[in-house]
């Protein structure tokens, strides 16, 4: 049977794909940017990749007619402040597209929406659910609250807060109750529900066995990590101040922080556990989810991370549009240096950023990241998903990986920091030398002034980094 997987490059999609292949399905992966999609080689015989942008009706023609199942795992929160209309239009376009297929079952992963007064984010998700339920075929909505797993937005935000702040002065919404669920269980629910007639034309809440406040979740995280943390809640922190607090302390973007704060004021607790019983799934408790997640991180087994999605930067673009580094009207800082060992040099390049840092002047990189945060950028807190591997589309501090071919010896990064222009950083290992090139395409006079203001620092930052990489 053929199954359409939208959002195949996303946090959930990357984890669901191998499970669907293991179940014997042929999976059609719908992605907005084909160049970002890097499935493992062992899955390629069971998948077909199509360009699919649900806001671009022309691409809807790429959906094959023989699909019988579909997962709807897309959203537009990072694209615009008016994302509600974009999400509704995407759902309507999806319905129109699958009306011409052999679709039998559509599954939508959304959020728990059990209160009358919903946040803008949750209200939009509920509206999408209503639209999708009107489409062809049977429909199932699976509603989850906080998802805990390596690389999940919820886990990474909790991790940022607990590991960085011994004492927290927090908004009162930390006393809101929620019902966290492990990513392992989420994938079980999604995969086992497909073509199960008992799930047709219904909505289900899914959650773990523990109902906790956000404060209790932070304190339990600290206990599991062996950290002593003190949390004080105050009533005077407005939603705007709460959003800024979350934005500056964690790796989230400001737009996502606003959506999260507004949603975190609303309880997300399951009405029942019907689906757990129906599918015979034993959900993991919060503490067990944390322990399982730490194990994955320690063993570098992070399959996907929310930071690699465009929502982490608030930007939307196709990587293919930027992979050709421009030359006309650009400022270029190009340096070369001979290296002693090709393999060791490549290993250093492929380990750059994140916990490793940038090899030289890390305090200056950190200052640049902090300044980026002040003007609404991503800063350095996103780090990297895996310690020693890089794939096209990965976030790397305030860069995005455009091209990564270790055998060829080329790594190309595109800046997602706030800039009066566009910037690329490229590393090439060829012959017996490493070529490091920083390219900046300025936007107007402000772009030129910016380049000349940072140019004095390039002399020792880029020189020092190159020498460390080649040593």
Domains, the chain, ordered by start = 315-470 (3.30.530.20)
Q: What is the pLDDT of residue 237?
A: 65
Q: What is the pLDDT of residue 346?
A: 94
Judge whether residue 78 has pLDDT over 60. no
Judge whether residue 239 has pLDDT over 90. no
Helix (H) or strand (E) holding 92: helix 83-98
Judge whether residue 298 has pLDDT over 80. no
Q: Give the residue from 455, 406, 396 showing the smallest Cα distance to 427.
A: 406
Q: What is the pLDDT of residue 302?
A: 76
pLDDT tens digits, one per residue of 28-38: 999 988 888 88
Give every CB contact of residue 383 below 8 A, 6+ residues apart in sequence.
251, 307, 353, 354, 355, 397
pLDDT tens digits, one per residue of 352-386: 998 899 999 899 898 898 888 888 888 887 888 88
**pTM of this structure:** 0.84
Judge contact between 20 and 3, C-beta under 8 A.
yes
Record the tokens describing residue 121, joined without a space: 């984010």
The Cα–Cα gap between 195 and 288 comes to 30
Judge whether residue 86 has pLDDT over 70. yes
pLDDT tens digits, one per residue of 161-218: 898 889 988 888 888 899 999 999 999 999 999 999 999 999 999 999 999 999 999 9
**DSSP for 337-358?**
EE-S-HHHHHHHHHT-BTTTB-
Give every CB contact of residue 412 below 8 A, 6+ residues apart in sequence.
323, 325, 401, 402, 403, 404, 424, 425, 426, 427
Burial 137-175 (b: 16+ CB within 10 A, else e): bbbbbbbbbbbbbbbbbbbbbbbbbbeeeeebebbebbe
Judge whether residue 104 has pLDDT over 60. yes
Strands 399-405, 410-415: parallel, antiparallel or unpaired by DSSP?
Answer: antiparallel
Comparison of pLDDT for 447 and 39, the residue scoring more: 447
Strands 421-430, 410-415: parallel, antiparallel or unpaired by DSSP?
Answer: antiparallel
Phi and psi at residue 140, in whole multiples of 5°? Answer: -135, 125
The most confident of 107-111, 171-175, 303-307, by mean pLDDT: 107-111
């Amino acid at each position: 049977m053929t199954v359409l997987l939208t959002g195949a490059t996303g946090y959930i999609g990357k984890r669901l794909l191998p499970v669907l292949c293991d179940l014997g399905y042929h999976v059609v992966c719908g992605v907005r940017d084909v160049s970002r999609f890097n499935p493992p080689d062992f899955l390629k015989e069971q998948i077909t990749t199509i360009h699919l942008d649900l806001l671009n009706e022309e691409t809807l023609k790429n959906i094959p007619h023989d699909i019988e199942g579909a997962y709807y795992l897309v959203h537009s929160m990072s694209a615009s402040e008016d994302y509600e209309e974009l999400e509704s239009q995407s759902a309507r376009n999806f319905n129109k597209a699958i009306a011409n297929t052999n679709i039998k079952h559509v599954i939508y992963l959304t959020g728990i929406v059990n209160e009358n007064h919903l946040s803008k984010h949750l209200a939009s998700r509920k509206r999408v659910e209503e639209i999708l339920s009107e489409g062809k075929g049977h429909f199932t909505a699976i509603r989850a609250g906080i998802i805990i797993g390596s690389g999940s937005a919820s886990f990474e935000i909790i991790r940022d807060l607990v590991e960085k702040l011994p004492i927290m002065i927090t908004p009162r919404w930390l006393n809101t109750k929620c019902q966290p669920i492990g990513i392992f269980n989420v994938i079980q629910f999604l995969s086992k529900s497909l073509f199960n007639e008992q799930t047709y034309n219904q909505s289900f809440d899914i959650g773990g066995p523990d109902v906790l406040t956000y404060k209790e979740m932070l304190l339990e995280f600290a206990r599991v990590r062996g950290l002593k943390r003190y949390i004080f809640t105050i009533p005077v922190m407005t939603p705007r101040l709460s959003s800024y607090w979350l934005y500056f302390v964690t790796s989230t973007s400001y737009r996502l922080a606003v959506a999260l704060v507004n949603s975190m004021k609303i309880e997300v607790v399951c009405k029942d556990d019907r689906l757990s019983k129906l599918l015979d799934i034993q959900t993991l408790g919060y503490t067990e989810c944390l322990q399982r997640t730490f194990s994955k991180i320690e063993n570098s087994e992070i399959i996907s991370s929310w930071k690699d999605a465009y929502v982490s930067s608030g930007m939307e673009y196709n990587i293919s549009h930027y992979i050709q580094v421009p030359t006309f009207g650009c400022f270029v800082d190009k340096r070369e240096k001979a290296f002693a060992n090709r393999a060791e040099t490549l290993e250093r390049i492929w380990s750059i950023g994140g916990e490793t840092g940038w090899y030289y002047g890390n305090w200056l990189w950190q200052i640049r990241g902090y300044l980026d945060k002040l003007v609404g950028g991503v800063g350095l807190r996103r780090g990297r998903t895996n310690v020693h591997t890089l794939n096209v589309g990965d976030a790397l501090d305030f860069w995005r990986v455009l091209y990564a071919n270790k055998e060829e010896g080329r790594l190309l990064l595109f800046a997602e920091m706030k800039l009066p222009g566009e910037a690329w950083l490229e590393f090439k290992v060829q012959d017996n030398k490493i070529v490091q090139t920083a390219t900046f395409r300025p936007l107007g006079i402000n772009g030129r002034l910016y380049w000349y203001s940072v140019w004095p620092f390039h002399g020792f930052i880029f020189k020092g980094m190159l020498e460390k990489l080649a040593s």
